[in-house]
């Protein structure tokens, strides 16, 4: 879309949008929400022509009011900075490309894409970091049940994000957790029950009904399997 008002009601982000328009004026090119529509606090990205120390000072003075309104602190970037970082942050910025909703300005991402190899490499880094994290922190917490449960729950969103990026690599659209679980037990051949449990924890760590302590051993095995899958992804797909 190409208008000055965006195509989605800003909701809690209205406060941040109003302030950013005042601070940046005509330098504010676009303001987008991204991620789940009901995420709290609500994440956003502001693309501007330039950012000065005075701009940052003015934004810092408004941060508390944004948080009170239910907004996460917005990402502030120029479009060139965003476009030039797609190879460095293909998972994080790819998620923005996939889920963004324009609240102000035209479509800021026209013509921008994530390269498969950049995304595969980032997935490799993420899955290997996740595996090391799950092993090391298990030792650090001395296998105390409450700490193990927290370890599993805290890492679950990263696991879910990793699966979504891998599904994207395989050109599989996963709009729901059930579809994501189906993908995970298909191509990567993970245990469907374990994946479903961890995805439930990623959505709600306290009310999922999942015993995170009991899940840990099989979750660790799933991440190990995912490491091997990502490592051989090019050979597996023939790309």
Q: Is residue 4 part of a domain?
A: no
Q: Within this chain, do residues 167 and 86 fall inside the same structural domain, yes or no?
A: no
40 to each of 67, 121, 159, 168, how far by Cα in Å?
A: 10, 30, 20, 25
Q: What is the pLDDT of residue 8?
A: 64
126 to each of 82, 110, 160, how far by Cα in Å?
A: 20, 27, 11
Cβ 90 vs Cβ 164: under 8 Å: no
Q: What is the pLDDT of residue 176?
A: 85
Q: Is residue 2 part of a domain?
A: no
Global pTM reads: 0.76
For the chain, which residues score pLDDT lower than 70?
A: 1-8, 207-208, 234-239
Q: Within this chain, do residues 123 and 232 fall inside the same structural domain, yes or no?
A: yes
User: Which residue in the block uniquely carries the two structure tokens 């709290």?
Assistant: 40
88 to each of 92, 115, 119, 121, how far by Cα in Å?
A: 9, 11, 9, 10
Q: Is residue 94 part of a domain?
A: yes
Q: Within this chain, do residues 156 and 195 fall inside the same structural domain, yes or no?
A: yes
Report the C-alpha gap between 195 and 232 in whole angstroms: 20
Instruction: Please give, one letter per residue, the 3-state secondary structure of the chain.
Output: CECCCCCCCCHHHHHHHHHHHHHHHHHEEEEEECCCCCCCCECEEEEECCCCHHHHHHHHCCHHHHHHHCECCCEEECHHHHHHCCCCCHHHHHHHHHHCEEEEEECCCCCCCCCHHHHHHHHHHHHHHHHHHHHHHHHHCCCCHHHHHHHHHHHHHHHHHHHHHHHHHCCCCCCCHHHHHHHHHHCCCCCHHHHHHHHHHHHCCCCCCCCHHHHHHHHHHHHHHHHHHHHCHHHHHCC
Report the C-alpha gap between 61 and 49 in whole angstroms: 21
Q: What is the pLDDT of residue 2?
A: 38
Report the C-alpha gap between 237 and 239 in whole angstroms: 5
Q: What is the pLDDT of residue 6?
A: 57
Q: What is the pLDDT of residue 95?
A: 86
Q: Within this chain, do residues 18 and 81 fall inside the same structural domain, yes or no?
A: yes
Candidates 34, 43, 46, 29; CA nearest to 105 is 29
Query: Domain range holding 144?
Result: 116-237
Q: Within this chain, do residues 100 and 121 fall inside the same structural domain, yes or no?
A: no
Q: Within this chain, do residues 49 and 153 fall inside the same structural domain, yes or no?
A: no
Q: Within this chain, do residues 90 and 130 fall inside the same structural domain, yes or no?
A: no
Report the C-alpha gap between 38 and 11 in whole angstroms: 10
Q: How much is the mean pLDDT over the chain? A: 90
Q: What is the pLDDT of residue 174?
A: 85
């Amino acid at each position: 879309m190409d208008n000055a008002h965006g195509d989605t009601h800003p909701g809690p982000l209205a406060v941040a949008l109003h302030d950013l328009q005042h601070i940046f004026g005509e330098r504010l090119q676009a303001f987008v929400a991204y991620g789940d529509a009901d995420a709290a606090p609500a994440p956003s990205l502001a693309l501007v022509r330039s950012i000065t120390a005075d701009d940052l000072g003015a934004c810092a003075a408004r941060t508390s009011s944004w948080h009170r309104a239910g907004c996460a602190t917005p990402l502030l970037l120029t479009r060139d900075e965003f476009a030039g970082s797609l190879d460095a942050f293909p998972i994080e910025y790819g998620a923005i490309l996939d889920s963004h909703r324009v609240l102000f300005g035209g479509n800021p991402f026209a013509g921008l894409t994530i390269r498969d190899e950049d995304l595969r490499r980032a997935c490799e880094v993420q899955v290997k970091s996740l595996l090391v994290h799950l092993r090391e922190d298990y030792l650090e917490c001395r296998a105390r049940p409450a700490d193990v449960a927290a370890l599993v729950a805290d890492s679950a969103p990263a696991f879910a994000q990793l699966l979504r990026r891998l599904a994207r690599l395989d050109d599989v659209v996963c709009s729901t957790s059930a579809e994501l679980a189906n993908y995970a037990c298909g191509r990567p051949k993970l245990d469907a029950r374990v994946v479903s449990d961890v995805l439930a924890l990623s959505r709600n760590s306290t009310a999922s009904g999942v015993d995170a302590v009991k899940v840990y051993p099989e979750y660790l095995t799933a991440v190990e399997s995912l490491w091997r899958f990502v490592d051989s992804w090019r050979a597996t797909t023939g790309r």
